Amino acid sequence: MDLWFHFTDPILRAPTIGSIFMCLAASLTGVILLFQRKLLISETISHAAYPGAIGGIFFLSMFGPEFERFSFVAVLMGAIVSSWLGLKSIRWLERKWKIHSDAALCFVLALFFGTGVLLASGLQQIQPLWAQQGHILLFGQAATLTDEHMLLYGLLSISCIAFIVVFFRPLQAILFDPVFAKSVGIRTRLVERIFFWLLLISIVTGIRSVGVILISGMLIAPAVAARQFSHQLKTVFWLAAIFGAVSGWSGAVLSAQYSLPTGPMIVLVSACFALVGLLASPKRGVLFRLTRLAKFRLRCMEENVLKGLWKKPMNGLELRRHYPSMLSFVLSRLVRHGWVIKTQNGEYHLTRDGHKKATAIVRLHRLWELYLTEQMGRDPKFVHASAEEMEHVLTPEIEAHLTKVLLDPQKDPHSQPIPGKVSV
Amino acid sequence: MNPYSGAQFFEFFAILARRFGQFFMGQAGGLAADELQLAVLVCSAIACGLLGPFLVLKRMSMFANSLSHTTLLGVVGAFLFASHWWGSGMTDLSTLLLGACISAGLTAGLIEVLSRVFRLAPDASIGLCFTTLFAIGVILVSLFTRDVHLSTEAVTGNCDALLSSDLRLAASIALLNAILISLFYRPFMLMSFDESYLRALGFSAPFWRFCLFFLTSLTVVASFRAVGVLVVLALLMGPYLTVRLFCHQLTRLVWLTPVCGVAIVVVSVALSRHILSASGVPLSTGGIVSLLTALTFLGGASVRVVMRRFA
């Protein structure tokens, strides 16, 4: 399949470019909402746009069928008005009636969308020819986008992008520390008001290709995916834009290929991005965290075995009694590192390097026990368990500090000698 | 012949009262379409009204909203399972239970996994979960039916073409909710106000939270075909928030909310009939219910404002 063909072909051009732009605006706005922790508001606003969109079609249908090709403008206008009303009523419910935002969001969503359904059922009966225009707003349809749509929606998305580029600095300050932003003279009210309109416009733009019900997914998934890969606001914006554009494009193509509803396909593609980000991103991904945890556990086991062998050489049977889990794997690793060797009679001995390493661990263990008793005033009987854990995590810096605080001690609380510092 | 055809708004109630009389004399015959619709909606209003207060207090309303989306996947799954292995239809009670289990389990489980294991913020995990599951549901539906209308109906329901089996279902769910809420009122109340007290009394807080969630899921799934998830959401939130303007005692709230819901529903059915008689346009009754819920809240709020001014 020739990809470039989608951008040049006169019929495919508008759906391709149109849905890319729509999803781009939505996913950029999603990033701002993600940092504000208000992602669910997009769900309510998009549902609140439905009655207005249907109302717009209703209004236009009164002028006669020759206006049908302008219905997308009516949809856009109506949707903006009613989602503005929805956003205002959420605030009214929260401030005036002290309703928690969670309940207010759900309430406004249900009522507005219900009213939309009511209007749509009326449209179906009164103007059945126009009802199809209302139907495609539920789940979106990219295939029927025309060049006029593309121009209008492209313009709206570009204005969203322009806002983010121009107001990047103030936006960054407001997102991370609103009080600071205000104190350095950023006009937070103005930026927030513009953002309010940006949110409305980007959602209302997206409903033509993704649909009223699922456009919130388009705000959420790319932002979540992008957040997994970076800590920097600028990078998160870039990544979200890329994820959004790619899923808008490939969702539209897939849905046309298999004649499936467009909105769900787009959302599914972007959910795949989010899934990959959540699982496999370096640093924040679950796979990474699990491997790090597993590595740490393994290191603890290795160090425990080394410590055991430091006290006295043991054969396999004895070792298994003390360290039952994964012993053969741990031992093979220790042998490979050159810290442990197996002698003729089946006993395991420490090598020179292994001995040094084990000494260091024992030293940490006993230092910590002494610190707990002397500095924290704990009973020597109860310090062993804590030291068993701390010996694996104490860094050389903390070790140096402990040595200084405890005045380079020689005996631990149980009168065992503390081995001197060794360089590994 | 539907005795209500051509009835105006107040006429509707007169005919309803007469039919009630006939019903007790045993002369009514079967339920007319309007009566069936009224009965189903009243049952849903009771079922939702009982759960609404606890959901709002527990701040689980957006959870309920995500359930209303994921239900589609649960129902599709249950339907596929049932039609393959049991050879039974969608209105079967066991299929329904299965659907509720699937959707409640999937939603609660996925949201929990996303926020615990993947460490997402609660709003992001709820949003990601239900949009994805709903997208999968819609795609499955359109793969198996190749019919766009079914997926539209999945959201809006169709309470203008009901069967008597829908009434049986709605009634049993309303009864179940009423019995469970009145039997276990105390743990439900404590859970929504003071979970640590609940734990101190030896109840398990997560268990009761999941109970509430499962009951909600059951209610949503049961109403899925009949009245649509949208009406369920409106009836879960609207009556409670309206009654809450005037009353702050949970016991009263819990029985006044269903009463308010029932009132809204009765008026909407009459209104829907009135519009049909007056202009010949059959409107979606579910939509009328939502609009009336909004108007009820607005009315209540303005009464409250006036009361404050003169108090």
The model's pLDDT over A230-246, given as tens digits with 9 standing for 90+, comes to 989 999 999 999 999 99
The per-residue pLDDT for B160 is 65
Q: Does pLDDT of A10 surpass 80? A: no
B23 or A101, higher pLDDT: A101
Which of chain B's residues have a Cβ under 8 Å away from the Cβ of A122? 281, 283
CA-to-CA dists, residue A301 to A290, A309, A325, A333, B296, angstroms: 17, 13, 9, 11, 66
What's the CA gap between B293 and B281, in Å, rounded? 21
Asked if A139 has any chain B CB less than 8 Å from its own CB, the reply is yes
Q: Please tell me the distance from the alpha carbon of residue B279 to that of residue B285, in angstroms, as a whole number.
A: 15
Across chain B, mean pLDDT equals: 85
Q: What is the ipTM of this complex?
A: 0.91
Note the pLDDT of residue A329: 87
- Residue A260 at interface with chain B, using a CB cutoff of 8 Å: yes
Q: Which residues of B touch A117 (CB under 8 A)?
A: 156, 230, 284, 286-287, 290
Q: Please report the pLDDT score of residue B306 as a whole number.
A: 93
Segment A22-42, tens digit of pLDDT:
888 899 999 999 998 889 999
Q: Which residues 6+ apart lie within 8 Å of B38 measured at CB?
A: B16, B265, B266, B269
Between residues 43 and 72 of chain A, which touch chain B (CB distance below 8 Å)? 43
Nearest CB among A43, A117, A284 relative to B230 is that of A117
Residue B152 has pLDDT above 60, yes or no: no
Q: How far apart are CA B285 and CA A48, in angstroms?
A: 19
The whole-angstrom separation of Cα A279 and Cα A289 is: 9
B53-91 confidence digits (pLDDT tens): 999 999 889 989 998 888 888 888 887 777 777 665 555
What pLDDT does B132 receive? 94
pLDDT digits (tens, 9 = 90+) for A271-303: 999 999 999 888 788 898 899 999 999 999 888
User: Could you give the CA distance from residue B38 to residue B167 in angstroms, rounded to a whole number?
Assistant: 10
- Containing B230, the helix (H) or strand (E) segment is helix B228-244
Contact list, B65 vs chain A (CB under 8 Å)? 43, 105-106, 109-110
Q: Where are the beta strands (DSSP E) in A180-238?
A: none
- pTM, 2 dp: 0.86
Name the token pair of A274: 């989010």
Q: What is the pLDDT of residues B198-219, one digit of tens each?
A: 888 888 888 888 889 889 988 8
Query: What does the pLDDT read at residue B148?
Result: 46
Residues 6+ apart with CB under 8 A from B203: B187, B190, B191
A100 close to B (CB below 8 A) = yes
Distance, in angstroms, between B196 CA and closest chain A CA? 21
The whole-angstrom separation of Cα A350 and Cα A219 is 58
Q: Which pLDDT belongs to residue B86?
A: 64
First and final C-alpha spacing in chain B: 52
Residues of B in contact with A134 (CB under 8 A): none
Q: How far is the C-alpha of B59 from the C-alpha of A99, rounded, in Å?
A: 10
Render pLDDT for A150-168 as a digit per residue (tens, 0 to 9). 888 888 888 888 988 998 9
**pLDDT of res. A61:** 86
pLDDT at B46: 95
User: CA of B69, closest CA in chain A: separation in Å?
Assistant: 9
Mean pLDDT of A335-355: 86
Q: Mean pLDDT over all residues of chain A?
A: 87
Q: Which residues lie below 8 Å from residue B110, measured CB to CB, with a gap of 6+? A: B125, B129, B133
Confidence class of residue B153 from pLDDT cuts 50, 70 and 90? low
Helix, strand counts (H, E) of chain B: 13, 0
Residue B224 has pLDDT above 80, yes or no: no
The residue-averaged pLDDT of A338-354 equals 85
Return the DSSP state at A346: S
Work out the minimum CA distance from B44 to partner chain A, whole angstroms. 16
A267 touches B: beta carbon within 8 Å: yes
On the question of pLDDT at B159 being above 70, the answer is no
**CB of A175 within 8 Å of any CB in chain B?**
no
Q: What percent of chain A has pLDDT over 70?
A: 99
> Chain A contact for B144, CB < 8 A?
no
Could you say which residues from 18 to 57 on chain B have a Cβ atom under 8 Å away from some Cβ of chain A?
56
pLDDT tens-place string over residues A16-27: 888 888 888 899
Residues A391-407: tens digit of each pLDDT: 888 888 888 888 888 88
Q: CA angle at residue A348 from A347 to A352, to 5 degrees?
A: 135
Average pLDDT over residues A87-106: 92
Q: How far apart are CA A383 and CA A369, in angstroms?
A: 6
Structure confidence by residue, pLDDT tens digits, A176-228: 888 998 898 888 888 888 888 888 988 888 888 888 888 899 999 999 999 99
* pLDDT beyond 80 at B163: no
pLDDT for position B236: 93
Gap between the Cα atoms of B270 and B34, Å rounded: 9
What is the CB-side half-sphere exposure of residue A417 using CA atoms within 13 A? 5
| Selection from A283, A259, A423 nearest residue A357 by Cα | A423
Indicate the residue of B127, B143, B236 with minimum beta-carbon distance to A216: B127
Asked if the C-beta of B72 comes within 8 angstroms of chain A's C-beta atoms, the answer is no
Helix-, strand-, coil-residue percentages of chain A, each rounded to 5: 75, 5, 20
Whole-number pLDDT of residue B268:
93
Distance of CA A183 to the CA centre of its chain: 30
Cβ-contact A41, A60 below 8 angstroms: no
- Reported confidence tier of residue B292, pLDDT bands at 50, 70, 90: very high
Q: Which of B60, B152, B238 sits opposite A138 (nearest CB)?
A: B152
pLDDT score, position A395 = 87
**Span B111-124, mean pLDDT?**
89
Contacts of B164 by beta carbon, 8 Å cutoff, 6+ apart: B31, B36
Q: Give me A270's structure tokens.
A: 């972007």
Are the C-beta atoms of B53 and B179 separated by less than 8 Å? no
Q: What is the pLDDT of residue A380?
A: 84
Q: What stretches of A252-357 adopt beta strand conformation (E)?
A: 314-315, 340-342, 347-350
What confidence tier does B2 reach under pLDDT thresholds 50, 70, 90?
Answer: confident
- State how far the Cα of A18 lies from the Cα of A143, in Å rounded to an integer: 10
List pLDDT tens digits, range A70-80: 888 888 899 99
Rounded Cα gap, residues A56 and B162, in angstroms? 31
